[in-house]
Structure 1
Amino acid sequence: MGYKQATPIQAQAIPHILESKDLIACAQTGTGKTAAFLVPTLSRISEAKYDFTSTLILVPTRELAKQIDDQVEGLSYFTGATSIAIYGGNNAQNWDQQKKALTSGADIIIATPGRLIAHMQMGYVKLDQLKYLILDEADKMLDMGFMDDLMKIISQLPKERQTLLFSATMPPKIRTFAKQILQEPEEISLSISKPAANIDQRIYLVYDSQKLKVLQHILKDAQIQTMILFTSRKNAVNDIVRSLQKMGFQAEGISSDRTQDEREATLQKFRNKQLQVLVATDVMSRGIDVDNISHVVNFDVPQDAEDYVHRIGRTARAGADGMAITFVNEQDQERLVKIEKLIERELPKLPLPEDVGEGPAFDPVGNSRRGGRGGRGTTPARRGGRPEGARGEGPRREGNRDRSQNRRRDGKPSGEKSAAPTTEGTTAPRPPKTEGQPQPPRAEGEEIKRKKKRRKKPANRKPAEGGQPTSPAATAAE
């Protein structure tokens, strides 16, 4: 399989695992964590020749479960060990296959927590003799809200077992979680939250409307073998794919909205180099191993700084070189500052191509004060927002009109406010109410409202006429 020399995480983890010690191992993505726990575990299984399920590997995503299952198949070829991947998003036939494998008892179960619990509730999953529990990408599982599911599964496992926890980051919640499930663990920490040194990281400060134009320049100029483009919004995946296809690039997308069969087919095309660009959400940011990805583009900045490290870790794997490009709009500049703080490095901000225009200035503090929109009152922010279409500018102008009306309301009927605060909100905006005493104008305003309502909805005629005293409140509610 091409393994000639142990990586640092493998060299340090394998001896502890063979000595049956619990382990917390933290290393950056792409360093060989999977083989670090599979190789010694398969060695133990082949020696012991268990006739029951001895190993449970819990992972956050379907793609990672499938990938580990494939690696087990390769590494265990001469050991006779069997494995099954248990994950959701399948049809009834796959459920039956999973049930059959769980009933017959595979040596290794690789599962996402939610799907495993669904099978466990049916009563045929037997983990009462389990020897090894492995949690891969543990930090991601907790981020995705699997804490309760994990504790539910672990509560049904034998207390006498070896537990291995592998993670790319080590936040406090992971340490708290580890104390609950591990016993006197050994610890390994290698380059926590640091991207590989051979990744060329670049930043473009852009307005949202400029992103596709800059991307087109990058794709035209760079020697791209294969590229993953990450977006934080799954509803943007299809739009970006269509834009790339119009530019003439072979592109497809992966998100949680697609079926598992579709996701696997797209990923296989990407692995076979049939696709030049894969557009994906963060389901592809953890543990997925595809050779020779030359570029990673962050179409938007991830919410968590650690996710930036995972995303760009898809390139420059196994000692190769790679490039990571990140588009940063006004409201994402604060996130960029957090990323630079995490990786302890200031990232270069490149100028935009001439025909793209000027991007926003790098002013994270100022943009934060202005509500993360690049400063509503500054000329560059408005200029940058316009090309995206009236959709972006319209609501802001409408909001400004509303604010000016509020000021007029506060100015003219200020005397009425204290007299009738409950109904003033429905009548103050109407000009007739500034004439005369407060009570008569309100009655006139309400009558006008009822007439309009009768014209629009004839069916409501009788209730409106019969319920005169209470109709203003109903109108206000509408």
Structure 2
Amino acid sequence: MRSIVKTLSFGVKNFKQKEKEENESGKSATIINEQGDFQIDGDSDNDNEEETLKGPIKILSDDGTKKKKNKKRKAEKEENRGAENDEEVDKKLDKLMGTVRRANRIFIWGDDVPHPILRFEDVAMPKHLSEHLNETKIADPSPIQMQAIPLMLQRRNVLASAPTGSGKTLAFVIPVVKEITRLKKLKKYSAGDKLLVIVLEPTRELATQTFNEFSKYAGPNIRVACFNDESTVPDAEVLVSTPNRLVYHIKDLNTKFLRWLIVDESDRLFEVIEGQEKCFRNQLATVYRACTGKFTRRAFFSATFSYEVETWCKENIDNVGMVCIGERNSSNTNVKQELQYCGSEDGKRMAIKTLLKTKFSPPALVFVQSKERAAQLVQFLSGIDEKLRVDSISSEKSDKQRDATMEAFRKGQLWVLVCTELLGRGLDLSNVNLVINYDIPTSIVSYIHRIGRTGRAGKVGRAVTYFSEDDLKYIRPIATVIRQAGFEVPDYLLTLKKVSRNEKQHLLKHAPRRQKIAFVRSREIKKKRRSWLPNLKKK
């Protein structure tokens, strides 16, 4: 495919020059006849030999006037013919790029969306950026990178959706680093501290992860900061933060020179499920209103998009280019997905106990619907086997506890990590082999993000979802997503009655009532928190 593009572009670029050089040197010339065919005239000793160009034209060496007119006519025809050839090649290139998009399942909406890039070499990147790509052995762009990078390089507002683990972070890091590098070469940007990019993330963990990625690719000359624990906004050109942190310091932000407001996991930041005053949507709106300078562009990235987000972007953002990789709100096909009927809460306990004793390949993430149930499941799993290293993470733990737990999980010191929706989005845990939905997700979006913690960067993962008799009224949408991904589900699940809109809204705000997994005293929970993590560090 690349060789075809290269051949097409090379021919267009060099056709006229080659013909001109050959004519000037008196050697063989390439001529196009009426049918559009190429004819090659060989060397000739006869200076008056006829040349084929829509009929023979005699060149009379003793008649200067005729010769000049014929040359002029010939030049005009060649120019027109060259323009026609350019249009022809443009059409062929458009058709070829359409084939590339279809092959990579790239769907686009918007006016004048640029062609996708096929190689990172197609983008004139700073030296340190291309070197780091080589060091990390990232050879070719993923589908979201192929289309999002040229859109952002054109300084277009972007709405982009791609499956989990497909390289969305790098899709906005590359154009941002390239643009800042260019701006820093200008005299007016060389002095003073100017905030050029804001990246919003829904959780502190995800903000830290994005900050680390940016720092790796930005190089030493671009200042990147993560706004987590500081009391004042740090001086940086790229600022990564949760919206909640920025809202309280919005007056301290100087967005006059801001080039990009990037909203990662944007569908999460549009949700209204946490109270009217502190919900993500209101926080995002406050930050958005502060970032409306004439230089500012917006980019929204996520693995899933509701039609509400799409409609809002179309109505409120000018000249937006939309990119969707694969089917809208589809799951990662690299994840082997299973549905398992357990009947009751007792059945779920037996199912996870059997799984961890027979077909378990650590590490694994286990999702439950609340922090209380996370503590209960840790208590239950700890009783299965004393050697099973298991812990939980939730929003009620301190930042230091959460950081220590995540570090232990990444290093393999933890085999099973029980969590709530806190880890359901964006976190790049490349070593996760198994995801267990102990409690079914409250929506398709939540399901897609949860199972996306495995099967990342082309690796194969596994996701098991348990459901009981009480979950039957909620299971149909998830069963549909699994079937669309190409995995088997019982046919009767696809014929169950759909959940009403009111029931969906209620489920988002109020998790189903369930029987306790295990009895846990609050004193035991606190004791476990104090003793577990220090022991991990010692070992």
Q: Same fold (TM over 0.5)?
A: yes
> What is residue 52 of structure 1 aligned with on the other side?
194
**Aligned partner (choices 63, 66, 69) of residue 211 of structure 2:** 69
Matches of 1:386 and 1:166, distance apart in 2: 37
**Secondary structure of 1:84's match?**
strand
User: How big is each residue's C-alpha offset from its partner over 1:387-419, in whole Å with a ceiling of 9 and x where there is no partner?
Assistant: 989xxxxxxxxxxxxxxxxxxxxxxxxxxxxxx
**Secondary structure of 2:180's match?**
helix
User: How big is each residue's C-alpha offset from its partner over 1:287-318, in whole Å with a ceiling of 9 and x where there is no partner?
Assistant: 10012211000001111112111111111111
- Structure 1 residue 100: deviation in Å? 5.5
> What is residue 467 of structure 1 aligned with on the other side?
none
> What is residue 258 of structure 2 aligned with on the other side?
130
Cα gap change, 1:211/1:166 in structure 2, threshold over 3 Å: closer, same or farther? same
**Secondary structure of 1:4's match?**
coil
User: How big is each residue's C-alpha offset from its partner over 1:4-63, in whole Å with a ceiling of 9 and x where there is no partner?
Assistant: 221100111111111111111111111110010011101111221244010011111111
**Secondary structure of 1:95's match?**
coil
Aligned length: 352
- Structure 1 residue 321: deviation in Å? 1.2
> What is residue 212 of structure 1 aligned with on the other side?
349
User: How big is each residue's C-alpha offset from its partner over 1:252-299, in whole Å with a ceiling of 9 and x where there is no partner?
Assistant: 111111111111111111111111111111111111001221100000
**Secondary structure of 2:322's match?**
strand
> What is residue 17 of structure 1 aligned with on the other side?
152
> What is residue 86 of structure 1 aligned with on the other side?
227
Matches of 1:174 and 1:113, distance apart in 2: 17
Cα gap change, 1:220/1:364 in structure 2, threshold over 3 Å: closer, same or farther? farther
User: How big is each residue's C-alpha offset from its partner over 1:234-253, in whole Å with a ceiling of 9 and x where there is no partner?
Assistant: 21111111222222210111
**Aligned partner (choices 208, 230, 239) of residue 376 of structure 2:** 239
> What is residue 317 of structure 1 aligned with on the other side?
456
The answer to whether the 8 A contact 2:340-2:464 is kept is yes
Letter in 2 for 1:113: P
- Structure 1 residue 139: deviation in Å? 0.3
Matches of 1:311 and 1:69, distance apart in 2: 22
> What is residue 339 of structure 2 aligned with on the other side?
203
- Structure 1 residue 364: deviation in Å? 8.2
- Structure 1 residue 367: deviation in Å? 12
Letter in 2 for 1:263: R
**Secondary structure of 1:200's match?**
strand
**Secondary structure of 2:255's match?**
coil
Matches of 1:224 and 1:278, distance apart in 2: 13
> What is residue 362 of structure 2 aligned with on the other side?
225
- Structure 1 residue 128: deviation in Å? 2.5
The answer to whether the 8 A contact 1:298-1:327 is kept is yes
Cα gap change, 1:204/1:184 in structure 2, threshold over 3 Å: closer, same or farther? same
User: How big is each residue's C-alpha offset from its partner over 1:320-352, in whole Å with a ceiling of 9 and x where there is no partner?
Assistant: 1111111101121232211123454485469xx
TM-score where L is the length of structure 2: 0.61
User: How big is each residue's C-alpha offset from its partner over 1:351-374, in whole Å with a ceiling of 9 and x where there is no partner?
Assistant: xxxxxxxxxx979859999xx9xx
Matches of 2:426 and 2:516, distance apart in 1: 38
Q: Give structure 1 regions of 4+ aligned residues with deviation exceeding 4 angstroms.
A: 346-350, 361-369, 385-389
**Aligned partner (choices 326, 334, 345) of residue 465 of structure 2:** 326
**Aligned partner (choices 374, 393, 400) of residue 254 of structure 1:** 393
Q: For structure 1, which segment, 279-288 or 149-158, has the greater mean C-alpha deviation from structure 2 after superposition?
A: 149-158
Q: For structure 1, which segment, 150-159 or 272-281, has the greater mean C-alpha deviation from structure 2 after superposition?
A: 150-159
> What is residue 139 of structure 1 aligned with on the other side?
267
**Secondary structure of 2:138's match?**
coil
User: How big is each residue's C-alpha offset from its partner over 1:212-236, in whole Å with a ceiling of 9 and x where there is no partner?
Assistant: 2211110111141210001112211
Matches of 1:273 and 1:204, distance apart in 2: 27
- Structure 1 residue 170: deviation in Å? 2.1
Cα gap change, 1:162/1:368 in structure 2, threshold over 3 Å: closer, same or farther? closer
> What is residue 143 of structure 2 aligned with on the other side?
8
The answer to whether the 8 A contact 1:193-1:343 is kept is no
TM-score where L is the length of structure 1: 0.69
The answer to whether the 8 A contact 2:482-2:488 is kept is no
The correspondence of residues 75-474 of structure 1 with structure 2, limited to 5 A, is 75-78=217-220, 80-87=221-228, 94-96=229-231, 99=232, 101=234, 105-120=235-250, 123-143=251-271, 144=273, 145-160=279-294, 161-191=296-326, 192-206=328-342, 207-248=344-385, 249-345=388-484, 348=488, 365=496
Q: What is the alpha-carbon root mean square deviation over aligned residues?
A: 2.7
Letter in 2 for 1:241: V
Cα gap change, 1:44/1:332 in structure 2, threshold over 3 Å: closer, same or farther? same
Matches of 1:226 and 1:181, distance apart in 2: 43
The answer to whether the 8 A contact 1:135-1:166 is kept is yes
**Secondary structure of 1:6's match?**
coil
